[in-house]
Structure 1
Amino acid sequence: MKKNPAIKSALLVLSVALLSLGSCKKENILLDNELEFAKLEAITIASTSAISGFGNTSDSLYAMEACKKGNKKTAIELSALSTSITTYLSANYSGFTFQKAFKIANQTTSAVESFVVVFQFNAKPVALKFDAAGAFVKVLEQREGRNMKGRGGWNAGGCFDNRDGKQRDTIAVSAIPALIKTYMTTTYSADTLVHAFVNKDQSMVVISKNVTYFATAFSATNSFIKRTDLPASPAKGRSIEASALPAVSTTYLSTTYPNYVFKKAFELKTNSAIKGYLVLIDANLTKYAIHFDASGQFVKAVTIR
């Protein structure tokens, strides 16, 4: 007996719908599992409202891969951290405000594996990981709760939307406010302005060169905040793209600053011989300058703002 074409069509539609439903359920389960796994390795550090200049809907901020699944996280005070850790914090994040810290231990052996420290720096949360001996390991990537799943870690209009690489925080030297230009030419007349960034709170960082490189920070009202000597040997600098950096340098950046955003790089030369590289990056809204030697090996990093 032949089935009515209409009945066959209806059965086909039903079968496709059931398969689709099953697929969606499976996909949702996988995504839910991915989220739960991410949360097991993350630490809640703050709210998006803790980021100055961010005015969108409030969400929780997480420090990603702060520990391994199954690790034991124990909250500790600043006073319980080793001298090497507190010295590192004071030297690289002057004026930081401590928020929380954790001792990460092996669940089975109770052996300490690492430490995670969370603090505020220039009105932005920062999370750092140190090894069991107190040596710096990396700046932990931050994500909003809604962006914990997947590899991107950002969404349009979110805290970290600059991860799309569109450099919306970069402005042309010609667009630097007149007050700032006047301050620079009056106070640092030998400087040549080479780059500028605008932060979410509308403060500005101006990169300039006078034998070596400098980062000069200004408030949203164009008032001087501070000047930072960037780590690079005296040499002739040439702007280069990220693709021109040695592989060992990009590997270091990816490992030490997960999901960082490349901002600017300079190749440093003396008499046609490469002396090193200076790289400016953004990691969770905090900007860093990293110096590499001629072979691309890490030399020094400086926190700009």
Structure 2
Amino acid sequence: MKKLITIYYTLAASAAVVFALSSCNKEAVSSLSTGSSKSASTVTATTNGDLLIAATSSSSTTTTAATKDSLFLMNACPAGKRPDTVAFSALSASITTYLTTNYSGYTFQKAFKVTDKSGTVTGYVVAINYNSKPVGLKFDASGTFVAVLEQRERADHDGPGWHPGGRFDNRNGMHPDTIALSALPATIKSYFTANYATDTLLHAVVTKDTSYIVFSANKGLFATSFTSKLVFSKRVQLYPRPIKTPVLQANLPAAINTYLSATYAGYVFDKAFVEKVSGVVSKYVVLIDASGTRYAVQFDASGVFVKATTIK
């Protein structure tokens, strides 16, 4: 009898995703009493270890059949391993510190430990809400971060992992979220003029929720976010020096692309910058989108990972 995982969460356009995690058998996937009329979802694990987040419609307290809004969390639990729900208090300090450091303001939803047939813990998966979006994270048995889990819509489980008009359609390589600096709303331009007049604007994107992120250099590299209503949200320093020189993805060290593919599966390359000291490469900063969450990832001249900063 194959082991499955069930996750329930509400789907509301302006509300945070809420998870409830339990394990169950394929032959008897239990439903969750939500107590609301919002959409909910059920998640089961495939034999490949993917978690199916099957969005369902509920008009009472019992969920119904899955809809096209379903998502997969890819490779969350390896085949042959057993997931067991654990309380937040059972997570190691290394995991909770990682969450606080990298996802400030996050909301914990659920976590489970993964054990092998002998009962030995081989890792953990933690589900959180960050900026009203679900994020799934894998940790090893010692609590060391391993990867951000890739998400796919149900219809895109096989194949490239996206479709035109879907929530992950920026994986098409066409950078549909990029906006020309000249096309930024006047309100955002005025905000920079009034508050960061000495910034050099480098790059800008419009996210799926129609909010804006503007990347600029001053005494450092910064990401400045604005809501869909063009209200300033936050400013994050991505690098301590004003790194400005762009570099193509094809010109990055192979080690960088290898690391990103392993750690942020399904990621979308956005932009990269290189720092040179006396004409010699010193650091790289790579901007990516991993299933809806934006990161700036630093590497040294050889492509060895240095640190990652969560942007939004």
TM-score (norm 1): 0.81
Whether the aligned pair in 2 keeps the contact of 1:240 and 1:267 (CA below 8 Å) is: yes
Aligned-residue offset at 1:167: 0.6
Letter in 1 for 2:198: A
1:76 equivalent in structure 2? 86
Change (3 A) 1:248 1:102: same
2:33 equivalent in structure 1? none
**Is residue 2:129 matched to residue 1:154?**
no
Identity of aligned residues (%): 51
Whether the aligned pair in 2 keeps the contact of 1:38 and 1:148 (CA below 8 Å) is: no
User: What is the distance in 1 between the residues matched to 2:204 and 2:47?
Assistant: 36
Letter in 1 for 2:281: I
2:121 equivalent in structure 1? 112
2:309 equivalent in structure 1? 302
User: What is the distance in 1 between the residues matched to 2:283 and 2:48?
Assistant: 40
User: What is the distance in 1 between the residues matched to 2:246 and 2:144?
Assistant: 32
Aligned-residue offset at 1:77: 2.1
Aligned-residue offset at 1:285: 0.9
User: What is the distance in 1 between the residues matched to 2:53 and 2:89?
Assistant: 19
Q: Larger radius of gyration, structure 1 or 2?
A: 1
Aligned-residue offset at 1:286: 0.7
2:146 equivalent in structure 1? 137
2:108 to 79, 92, 98: 98
**Is residue 2:213 matched to residue 1:205?**
yes
Deviations 1:147-188 (A, max 9, x none): 2123x1111111111111111111000011111111111111
Structure-to-structure mapping, 1:251-290, within 5 angstroms: 251-290=258-297
Deviations 1:277-296 (A, max 9, x none): 11000000111001111111
User: What is the distance in 1 between the residues matched to 2:100 and 2:106?
Assistant: 7
| Greater fraction helix | 1
Residue 227 of structure 1 aligns to a residue in which SS?
strand
User: What is the distance in 2 between the residues matched to 1:254 and 1:111?
Assistant: 28
Letter in 2 for 1:96: Y
Query: Once superposed, what is the RMSD of the aligned Cα atoms?
Result: 1.9
Q: Which moved more, 1:140-149 or 1:199-208?
A: 140-149
Aligned-residue offset at 1:203: 0.7
Whether the aligned pair in 2 keeps the contact of 1:43 and 1:64 (CA below 8 Å) is: yes
Aligned-residue offset at 1:39: 5.1
User: What is the distance in 2 between the residues matched to 1:226 and 1:273?
Assistant: 33
Structure-to-structure mapping, 1:1-305, within 5 angstroms: 38=46, 40-45=48-53, 47=55, 58-106=68-116, 108-150=117-159, 152-231=160-239, 233-234=240-241, 236-305=243-312
Residue 170 of structure 1 aligns to a residue in which SS?
coil
Whether the aligned pair in 1 keeps the contact of 2:46 and 2:52 (CA below 8 Å) is: no
Whether the aligned pair in 2 keeps the contact of 1:48 and 1:144 (CA below 8 Å) is: no
Structure 2: give runs of 5+ residues left out of the alignment.
1-43, 58-66
Change (3 A) 1:236 1:64: closer
Aligned-residue offset at 1:269: 1.1
Aligned-residue offset at 1:205: 0.4
Aligned-residue offset at 1:228: 0.2
Residue 154 of structure 1 aligns to a residue in which SS?
coil
User: What is the distance in 2 between the residues matched to 1:105 and 1:149?
Assistant: 27
The runs of at least 4 consecutive aligned structure 1 residues that moved more than 3 Å come to 36-40, 44-49
Residue 158 of structure 2 aligns to a residue in which SS?
coil
User: What is the distance in 1 between the residues matched to 2:298 and 2:266?
Assistant: 19
User: What is the distance in 1 between the residues matched to 2:310 and 2:55?
Assistant: 22
Deviations 1:238-292 (A, max 9, x none): 1111001001111111111001100000111122121111100000011100111
Residue 244 of structure 2 aligns to a residue in which SS?
strand
